[in-house]
Amino acid sequence: MDRRKLTYILTILLSVFFLFAGNKIATNDYPFGRSEEADSLFKATVVSVHNASDANADSLSFQAKFLNGPNKGQTISALQPLSATAASIRIVEPGDKILLLHQSGSAPGEFGWHYIEHIRSNAVLYLALAFAAALLLFGRMKGLNILLSLVFTLIAIFAILLPAILSGKNIYYWSLLISLFIVVMTLLLTNGANAKSFATILGCLGGIMVAGLLMLLMDKLIHLTGIINEDSIYLLYLKTKNPIDLKAIVFASVIIGAIGAIMDIAMDISASLHEIKSQLKQADAKTLMHSGMTIGRDILGTMANTLVLAYIGSSLSVVLLLMAYNQSLIHLLNRELVIVEMLQMLIGSFGILSSIPLTSYICSKLYTKTKKRTR
């Protein structure tokens, strides 16, 4: 077995071990079990709608057939509550796939089953499968490795980081640990254990550390509370072993949000300088450093825009509401929700910016040193 295959197998095995062990540790003292709602929620398809033409009704009655559960195939009557904003509600229609919740304790003659949501996950699942097929079609073996790294990344976040937070563990430590795992695992799976991956890993870690230190500094300077919306307040009332540190959650969101962009730009520079060195054997460390900085400047503009546009796009509705209901621009710019979004954009960009010279310097030294050893 050659070295590349051995590294690939070891990376997978160690990643599986890390995910398994990390989940065991993260879920230790995990205070939340399966909710009652989870056991009372079932999939169904709408068969017929009764009072759809009654504009003044406060609820809509319909017939639905269960698609799963002990009553699979059975048809029952259910209600869809209508509010004052019924114009914005997706009214059920025959053929719709929906989720029904059974409310125990309903009086005789009352509807025990209520509409909760339309089933939308199926369409997203089909889109994800199409994306996976496209990756395999165009990327072949590398596409398979990308898919594997995506799966490991999602497991690390949902099976380790989130349970660790809800278990009251140190969010700063666990967010950095997961970041380190994602960077190393992704690069080893997609590019193998070589000089390019090693240089990229070091450049990424440098960028992440700069972003983390900046976030800690800004936390002290602007006195963050971590309460950016009502969801943050709800976290304070969760029954965890230790109170959830909302400021640490902001820290984790900044770091996790910046990893992808930092890793992308570090890999671009590392791969470009490796290609330059392979084509231009006489290139020395100074030449590679200069080339890396030039390439980095070209990439930086679009990458910084990518971060800014991604954060603005994800919170566009909230920003619109804040602008509509805040007459004072000074008040708007000092709202913690807006400040946190700005921090994510700026600190993420700083992480990218710092990874450019770091990766360029590491590549210039590593590639020329490798060259001398091969003589």
Q: Distance of CA 353 to CAs 51, 246, 283, 292, 347, Å?
A: 60, 27, 24, 12, 10
Burial class (CB in 10 A: 0-12, 13-18, 19+), 199: buried
DSSP letter, residue 93: -
Cβ partners under 8 Å of residue 182, min gap 6: 152, 153, 156, 259
Domain boundaries, the chain: 3-29+138-373, 41-102
Banded pLDDT at 327 (limits 50, 70, 90): low
pLDDT of residue 14: 94
Banded pLDDT at 44 (limits 50, 70, 90): very high
pLDDT of residue 179: 93
Q: Is the pLDDT assigned to residue 313 strictly greater than 70?
A: yes
- Asked whether the beta carbons of 249 and 226 are under 8 A apart, the reply is yes
pLDDT of residue 373: 43
More reliable by pLDDT, 364 or 53:
364
Task: State how far the Cα of 142 lies from the Cα of 72, in Å rounded to an integer.
Answer: 42
Q: Is the pLDDT assigned to residue 335 strictly greater than 70?
A: yes
Q: pLDDT per residue over 57-80, tens digit each?
A: 677 888 899 998 888 888 888 888
Task: State how far the Cα of 64 lies from the Cα of 134, in Å rounded to an integer.
Answer: 36
Number of Cβ atoms within 10 Å of the Cβ of 227: 16
Number of Cβ atoms within 10 Å of the Cβ of 254: 23
The residue behind tokens 């991604």 is 310
pLDDT of residue 24: 92
Q: Is the pLDDT assigned to residue 109 strictly greater than 60?
A: no
Please compute, for residue 168, the number of CA atoms within 13 A of its CA located in the half-sphere on the CB side.
13
Q: Is the pLDDT assigned to residue 53 strictly greater than 70?
A: no
Closest CA to 209 of 220, 201, 198: 201
For the residues 189-203, what does the mean pLDDT come to?
Answer: 89
The DSSP bridge partners found for residue 62 are: 49, 78
Banded pLDDT at 29 (limits 50, 70, 90): confident
More reliable by pLDDT, 236 or 34:
236
Q: pLDDT per residue over 244-270, tens digit each?
A: 888 899 899 889 888 888 888 899 899
- Asked whether the beta carbons of 323 and 332 are under 8 A apart, the reply is yes
DSSP letter, residue 161: I
Task: State how far the Cα of 276 lies from the Cα of 368, in Å rounded to an integer.
Answer: 12
Axis-axis angle for helices 3-26, 121-155 (nearest 10): 100
192: left (phi over 0), alpha (psi -120 to 50) or beta: left
Number of Cβ atoms within 10 Å of the Cβ of 61: 16
Please compute, for residue 285, the number of CA atoms within 13 A of its CA located in the half-sphere on the CB side.
12
Q: Is the pLDDT assigned to residue 318 strictly greater than 80?
A: no
Residue type, 124: V
pLDDT of residue 375: 37
Number of Cβ atoms within 10 Å of the Cβ of 280: 12
For the residues 120-133, what does the mean pLDDT come to?
Answer: 90
Q: Is the pLDDT assigned to residue 87 strictly greater than 80?
A: no
41-102 belongs to CATH 2.40.50.140: yes
